[in-house]
Amino acid sequence: LDQHEVLEALEHDMKLASGALVVALIVTWIHLESIFLAFVALLSLCFSILLSYVIVRVEEVSLASFLVVFVVFGLGGNSFFKLNDLWDRVYRISPMAKPVDRLMEYYRSAMLQLLPVFLTAGIFMVHLLSLMRPLREFGFFMGTCIMCRCVLSLVTFVPALLVQEQLVSPLMKRRIPPKLAAVLQPTKLRLPY
């Protein structure tokens, strides 16, 4: 394949990645029961890729590094589901606790939830020992992207959960018409898993 064919294939696949992002937004929206949380989660995914691109300093976008985008979009959203479920569980355990105490308990539990994800990033970093340059590039870029996703999910998604609980949900109940609120926060619609 010459460079022109590779760029043409990458451009075509970017359209597929955009479609995957839209599908991920819809599924995340339904699962998290909030359009606000869905946007924050997907923005965190996108920023983790961009931040990794800056950290790794990819000189030339190859097929190996482009594969990372699809893997991150495909596998990246599950930690947001786990973090949201953890937030709900911490609230159910101690509903009258102060927000600071809940956040501390949440972060303790979240670190344990994200430990396997950090280990997965470490496994991708092992590819740095490979003799093949595309595999080294893929492993380093993917490992960095996973680590950035974990850090960004703790830095951006946790405050978003607090904002959702204390500002967005009450605003939906008070100021938004009930039908529009039901669309923006689909609490009655459940995914079959």
Cα–chain center distance at 92: 24
Would you give per-residue pLDDT tens digits along the chain (193 residues)? 577 777 787 778 777 777 877 888 888 888 888 889 999 998 898 888 888 888 887 666 667 777 777 777 777 777 888 888 888 888 888 888 888 888 888 888 888 888 888 888 888 888 888 888 778 888 888 888 888 888 888 889 888 988 988 888 888 778 877 777 677 777 666 656 5
Q: What is the pLDDT of residues 73-128, one digit of tens each?
A: 777 777 888 888 888 888 888 888 888 888 888 888 888 888 888 888 888 888 88
Taking the CA atoms of the chain, what radius of gyration do you get in angstroms?
Answer: 19
pTM of the predicted model as reported, rounded to 2 decimal places: 0.79
- DSSP at 193: -
- The tokens describing 138, both together, are 């893929």
How many CA atoms lie within 13 Å of 157's alpha carbon, on the beta-carbon side?
A: 33
